[in-house]
Amino acid sequence: MAKPLNIGMIGYGFMGRAHTNAYKRVADFFDLEYRPVLKAVCARSADKAKEFAAKWGYESVETDWKKLVERKDIDAIDICTPNNTHSEIALAAAAAGKMILCEKPLAMNGPEGLKMVEAVEKAKVPNMVWYNYRRVPAVTFAKQLIDEGRLGRIFHYRAKFLQDWTISADLPQGGTALWRLDVAAAGSGVSGDLLAHCIDTAIWLNGPLADLNAMTETFIKERKHNLTGKVEKVGIDDACAFMGHFKNGSLATFESTRYARGHKALYTFEINGEHASIFWDLHDLHRLQYFDHRDQGSLRGWRSIHVTDGDHPYMGKWWVPGLQIGYEHSFVHQVADFLEGLTTGKPAQPDFRNAYQTQLVLDAILDSAKSQKWVTVAAG
């Protein structure tokens, strides 16, 4: 019988649902030593917390996260609140000896992230950041192909994360649903929200970045603020692009925006190696495009691999070839890997220290965009 791992979730929004779903499903598909138990959910509003608990099956509710963190019956704290709250909660949870699963990005900035890293390392608590896209089977498969050396020397890594949901100037900023547009809560705009995903994947697949040069833009300069009711200056970046170098000598070209009409969540990356190239697209996340120069010349072409076979990463746990899985499964996989890490002692990645690397790149991006200069990415 699996051992229970009692989860205390803070926050109940989009990510709260995605994580909770993952906790509930993982044992149906993965055979693991630990089984998550939905012990408690915490929200400032008791009504909201109770509603969420009833819907998803949490055993109890809290309205003060500090109480949750102190509860003896909680093994792991899941932080799904806005970015500006991650640090305080994580420091407290670490001090209380809890495992921590923190929504991305880790922190508001590098220094804040470093304190969090030091806290969990000092407390020796298992910790992880929800950069879920590493666990999309096609992306994990890309990692395998790279680790097998199939691509050879890497020349280019390019990534984009394009959305179009904030184009209307009538959209307000701030508050529960729109805190991502409020710089006080989010810390940054698309760089921390979208580009952070691209950077995490890139570091995982291609190693650390050495330096970069970034540009940010805020297309809509003022928006009504939901908390103050007043029109206020927009502090976030609506778009962000950077170019730079990876330490392995390959070139980086990255871009993210919420002003690309026609794209809902178009996270794509392409890696060009000496021997082979890889392309992936979140809008068709169950496919990997692969080109291998070692194929016979006249028969070379980009292969559209439907990553649904039993020998593709994670897919043996699900259905049969040809039947695709979706977005939410990446969270299930991440929980599975986290739980397996508890058993094996090899922590699932990215842990806080690993995710801190992305924070340093984000700092470099914002520094460069402000100074208009090339910036060396700090070593993590």
- Range 222-251, binding its own copies (CB under 8 A): 239, 241-244, 251
In the window 49-88, what residues touch its own copies (CB under 8 A)? Answer: 55-57
Among the listed residues 67, 303, 346, 370, the single contact to its own copies using CB under 8 A: 303
Among the listed residues 232, 284, 340, 367, the single contact to its own copies using CB under 8 A: 284
The nearest distance, CB 122 to its own copies, in angstroms, is 36
Q: How far apart are CA 202 and CA 26, in angstroms?
A: 26
Please report the DSSP string for 149-218 in residue order.
T-S-SEEEEEEEEE--TT--TT--BBHHHHGGG-HHHHSSSHIIIIIHHHHHHHHHHH--EEEEEEEEE-
Q: Which of these ranges, 103-111, 307-315, 337-345, 350-358, lies near its own copies under the rule CB under 8 A?
A: 307-315
Question: Does the footprint of its own copies cover residue 370 (CB under 8 A)?
Answer: no
Cβ–Cβ under 8 Å, residues 36 and 56 = no
In the window 81-140, what residues touch its own copies (CB under 8 A)? Answer: none
Among the listed residues 9, 102, 183, 325, the single contact to its own copies using CB under 8 A: 325
Q: Which of these ranges, 79-87, 116-124, 267-275, 348-356, lies near its own copies under the rule CB under 8 A?
A: 267-275
Residue 67: what residue type? Answer: K
Q: Could you give the maximum distance between any two Cα atoms of the chain, in Å?
A: 66
CB neighbour burial string for 275-314, b if at least 16 within 10 angstroms, e if fewer: ebbbbbbbeebbbbbbbbeeeeeeeeeeeebebbeeebbb
Q: How far apart are CA 115 and CA 88, in angstroms?
A: 10
Q: Which of these ranges, 39-47, 186-194, 342-350, 371-379, lies near its own copies under the rule CB under 8 A?
A: 371-379
Question: Does the footprint of its own copies cover residue 22 (CB under 8 A)?
Answer: no
In the window 178-207, what residues touch its own copies (CB under 8 A)? Answer: none
Q: Which is nearer to its own copies, 121 or 292 (CB)?
A: 292
Radius of gyration (C-alpha) of the chain in whole angstroms: 21
The nearest distance, CB 71 to its own copies, in angstroms, is 24
Question: Does the footprint of its own copies cover residue 21 (CB under 8 A)?
Answer: yes
The nearest distance, CB 311 to its own copies, in angstroms, is 5
Q: How far apart are CA 309 and CA 184, in angstroms?
A: 44
Question: Does the footprint of its own copies cover residue 210 (CB under 8 A)?
Answer: no
Q: How far apart are CA 9 and CA 40, in angstroms?
A: 6
Question: Does the footprint of its own copies cover residue 260 (CB under 8 A)?
Answer: yes
Tokens of 362: 């984000």
Question: Does the footprint of its own copies cover residue 345 (CB under 8 A)?
Answer: no
Binding residues for its own copies, rule CB under 8 A, total 90
Tokens of 351: 């842990």
